[in-house]
Amino acid sequence: MSSQSTLADDDLFGEAAAEMREEVEAHLEDAEAALPDPDDVWDADADNVLGVLNALKSTLDVGDAAEHLRQAKKTFIVGQRAEAFDDPESLEARLESVEALLGSIEEAGDLVGDLTGTMPQLRSQLQDAADAADDDSPTDADAAEADAES
């Protein structure tokens, strides 16, 4: 192999490495852009708790963010193994940060999903208990009758 083709190969490798880094960064930007808006997670416009929970559950759907992160990680791993990046630590830290945030969002979504299933059941149980208490408590007529007998 001549030194001229080695220089050309080095140039091509450098160009490919730059493109890989750009691809990782583009996928990370797309993942971050697909994350829920902080105000949408905090603000709620609903008539009841179930409405709030359903809206929150929809807001916490990470959708395309997870796929963009996956693509970024795939490209990063190939580039890292090829030792193509000058500063792989900065990309790796950003990948880990986005991955941790997605994990937190998915965990919160699971909790909200659990509450979405639990709250109607809890309301029903509380309503049954209130109805039973109403059936067991003396009515005004029962109280008047008891007073008349004494």
Using 50, 70 and 90 to split pLDDT, how confident is the model at 5? Answer: low
DSSP calls for the chain: --HHHHHHHHHHHHHHHHHHHHHHHHHHHHHHHTSPPHHHHH----SSHHHHHHHHHHHT--THHHHHHHHHHHHHHHHHHTT--S-HHHHHHHHHHHHHHHHHHHHHHHHHHHHHHHHHHHHHHHHHHHHHHHHHSPPHHHHHHHHHH-
pLDDT in tens, 126-145: 999 999 998 876 655 565 56
% residues pLDDT > 90 (the chain): 69
Cα–Cα distance, 64 to 35 (Å, whole number): 8
pLDDT bucket at 150, cuts 50 / 70 / 90: low
Q: Enumerate the domain spans of the chain.
A: 3-134
- pLDDT tens-place string over residues 28-71: 999 999 999 999 999 988 899 999 999 999 999 998 999 999 99
pTM score, whole prediction: 0.76
Predicted local confidence at residue 118, as pLDDT: 95
**Would you state the pLDDT for residue 11?**
86
Place 8 in a pLDDT band, splitting at 50, 70 and 90: confident
